[in-house]
Amino acid sequence: MLDVRQEGKAVLFKVRVQPRAAKNELAGFFEGALRVRVTAPPVEGEANEACRSLLAKILNVPKSGVEIVGGHKGRNKQVRVVGLTREQVLKLLFSDQQEVGR
């Protein structure tokens, strides 16, 4: 299951990114992290930007509201989303995935 923490006006959660995938999509969970597949390669921050864009679209927040705060060069990342509550994030992620991972 996904561990989502409320921290003031922001929400923090872990993401496991798979670059060079066939399409941009959420793909369930991996060791307590949200699995995200992106078509971008893992060079010069392209996969990070693709991950931010996808999460912003799914969570209906501006891309500037999604920040990678840890794991910039690895697959495992810590993401911070501003402007949503923990409950809103869980609802949006699960509604997009039709209960993925359950």
Mean pLDDT of the chain: 92
Q: Please tell me the distance from the alpha carbon of residue 51 to that of residue 76, in angstroms, as a whole number.
A: 12
Answer yes or no: is 32 within a domain: yes
The pLDDT value given to residue 62: 97
Q: Please tell me the distance from the alpha carbon of residue 69 to that of residue 11, in angstroms, as a whole number.
A: 12
CATH number for the domain spanning 44: value is: 3.30.1200.10
pLDDT band at 100 (very low <50, low <70, confident <90, very high): very low
The pLDDT value given to residue 98: 42
Q: Which of 12, 25, 40 is nearest to 100 (CA)?
A: 25
Give the chain's domain count.
1
Domain extent for 27: 4-97
